[in-house]
Structure 1
Amino acid sequence: MIKKLLIFASLIMMTNMSMAQKTKAEKEVDIAVNKLIALMITPDSLKLDQLLLNNLSYGHSSGKIQTKQEFMHSLLSGESDFLDNIILGDPKTVIQGKTALVRHKLMAQTNDKGVRGNVNLYILLIWSKEKTGWKLLGRQAVKVPEK
């Protein structure tokens, strides 16, 4: 538990440092991304429900597409299990009206269905500005090509 708190604290500190030159909307989107990452490590059904739009389309690098309910179930059941550390690299955010596109590289260790693995992915997140804040509308992952 302490390890998870330290990781979360370091994510917040890195986000705060990188947010110095960003617009208010970009800062809000960064906070939403950090919430999503924290919930992927330590899932909470109520918090996930609040962060995800009902018509979420969640695409995996395998080509599998999940609805909000399917994505939540995979995290909450442990079917999709991210271990203590998810590293994001090369973040790029584009805000257009009430839509935000976030691209980053995601590196993590997993324990999906009891099988340990490593993921190295490029991610595209699509966020929608709603009355209650930024909500995840879409996600697509592709594998980083091996060199």
Structure 2
Amino acid sequence: MPAAIAPLRGALAADDDQQAVAKAVNGLRDAMLAGDGATLRAMTMDQLTYGHSNSRLEDKAAFVGSLDGKNAFKALDLSDHAIQVVGDIAVARHTFDSVNNLPDGKTNTAHIKVLQVWKKVDGAWKLLARQASPLPAA
């Protein structure tokens, strides 16, 4: 193979992985919005550590359990995406804006910055870690 083609193939593979991670990020968002526990379990690693903007940490069981079969979100939008892939690890950052359904029938909102760490396992990107931090109100 000519030397000039090898970097091009590496760049194309990185682009493919970035697109796959972007798809995984959006798939996780959709599963969270739908309260789809089966998809959340499938998309996350057993070692998941899920950090909220108030510093509360959840493991996989707590994260999935908090959303499984529940209508936790009225709306959930992600913006300002940035994804970096390094081998079988990807770092995804975005702004997370949500309208959250509360048990008393009221709602509240979140406007936070999120960092996610994804790992490629058997060809699929799975969430390993997530940490959120607060942003000023819009």
C-alpha distance in structure 1 between counterparts of 2:92 and 2:25, whole Å = 9
User: What's the CA shift for 1:45?
Assistant: 2.1
The yes-or-no answer on 1:25 pairing with 2:1 is no
The yes-or-no answer on 1:91 pairing with 2:73 is no
* Per-residue deviation, residues 89-145 of structure 1 (Å, max 9, x unmatched): 111001111000000001110013334101000000100000040000000001102
C-alpha distance in structure 2 between counterparts of 1:142 and 1:27, whole Å = 25
Aligned counterpart for 1:121 among listed residues 112, 120, 124: 112
User: What's the CA shift for 1:23?
Assistant: 0.4
Q: TM-score scaled by structure 2?
A: 0.83
Give the root-mean-square deviation of aligned CA atoms: 1.7
User: What's the CA shift for 1:31?
Assistant: 0.8
Aligned to 2:135: 144
* Aligned pairs, number: 124
Aligned to 2:73: 82
Give the SS at the match of 1:63: coil
Q: Which one has the largest radius of gyration?
A: 2
Q: TM-score scaled by structure 1?
A: 0.79
Give the SS at the match of 2:35: coil
User: What's the CA shift for 1:77?
Assistant: 5.5
Structure 1: 5+ residue stretches without partners: 1-21
Q: Identity, % of aligned pairs?
A: 29
AA at the equivalent of 1:72: V
Structure 2: 5+ residue stretches without partners: 1-13
